[in-house]
């Protein structure tokens, strides 16, 4: 089986994330969307809420599983028998950071390959941070996030 892990904070999941999940689901038998618990980040939604939002957003993909993990990504990938880590690139500005992560992961687990997905041009500007900022200022996030997430963001800002 071809198994991949797509890690991130997904705070919240955006249509850009879903684009990458959908494309990865066509290439791999199983895709684990792995929500990291990064204590250095100030998350808007709890881990449990992010899991629920992601599960509702990917329910149409039969080979996509949503989980959380702590610790090193490569250790989590090994527990899932994943041979690939999926990372999304929006712009050249993402590349340096992602390149550093990929090389570090290769050093830690040379048997696991990092595969970069270029986001669809429609989502190249989109980030969870931008979505939260727009929602926080009362802006319209339609088309940026799945419908259920729109409701969660408007509920959070009330």
The active-site residue, picked from 2, 41, 59, 147, is: 41
What is the predicted pLDDT for the residue at 40?
73
- In the chain, which residues have pLDDT < 50? 158
pTM of the model: 0.93
Active-site residue identified among 23, 55, 78, 90: 90
Query: Catalytic pick from 17, 50, 87, 132?
Result: 17
103 C-beta neighbours (distance < 10 Å), count? 11
Protein fold of 3-125: Rossmann fold (3.40.50)
Rounded to an integer, what distance in angstroms lies between the CA atom of residue 15 and that of residue 71? 27
Q: Is 65 annotated in the active site?
A: no
Cβ atoms within 10 Å, residue 90: 17
- The reply to whether 128 belongs to the active site is yes
pLDDT the model gives residue 151: 83
Domain boundaries, the chain: 3-125
pLDDT for 10: 95
Of the candidates 9, 44, 84, 128, the residue annotated as catalytic is: 128
């Amino acid at each position: 089986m071809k198994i991949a892990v797509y890690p991130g904070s997904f705070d919240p999941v955006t249509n850009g994330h879903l684009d990458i999940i959908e494309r990865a689901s066509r290439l791999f038998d199983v895709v684990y969307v792995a929500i990291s618990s990064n204590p250095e980040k100030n998350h808007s939604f709890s881990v449990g809420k992010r899991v629920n939002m992601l599960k509702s957003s990917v329910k149409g993909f039969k080979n996509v599983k949503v989980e959380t993990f702590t610790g090193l990504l490569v250790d989590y990938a090994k527990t899932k028998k994943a041979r690939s880590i999926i990372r999304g690139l929006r712009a050249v500005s993402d590349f340096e950071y992602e390149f550093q992560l990929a090389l570090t992961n290769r050093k830690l687990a040379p048997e696991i390959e990092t595969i970069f997905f270029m986001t669809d041009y429609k989502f190249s500007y989109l980030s969870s941070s931008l979505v939260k900022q727009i929602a926080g200022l009362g802006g319209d996030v339609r088309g940026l996030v799945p419908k259920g997430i729109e409701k969660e963001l408007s509920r959070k800002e009330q």
